[in-house]
Amino acid sequence: MYLTQEEIQAAVKDPEWQELRRNLKGKTTREKIDTLKAYYNKSFAYSDYSDWQDKLVQIQNYLNALSRGGLIEPVRQSQSIYWQLNNVQIKR
């Protein structure tokens, strides 16, 4: 999933997402990935399509940040978010 700056900015303003991000601070990388997986699964089950798209952008953006921070191997944006979450390689 390739993201524009506008898509990212619109999606990350969501209060639920901001709360989740605050709760990720201080957690291990594994805990962060597991939390993202749970958020993905909950979102898929309970969101309509427009919300779902925002949630995909939020997760992709966070995976990109973990990669830039050296916590995970670079993500394959050509793969689905589901694939990325289930095949993430944690570095530290």
How confident is the model over 33-92, as pLDDT tens digits? 999 999 999 887 766 666 788 899 999 999 999 999 999 999 888 899 999 999 999 998
Report the predicted TM-score, pTM, of the whole model to 2 decimal places.
0.89
- Cα 70 from Cα 40, distance rounded (Å): 22
Question: For residue 9, what is the enclosing H or E element?
Answer: helix 5-12
Contact 72, 29 (CB under 8 A): yes
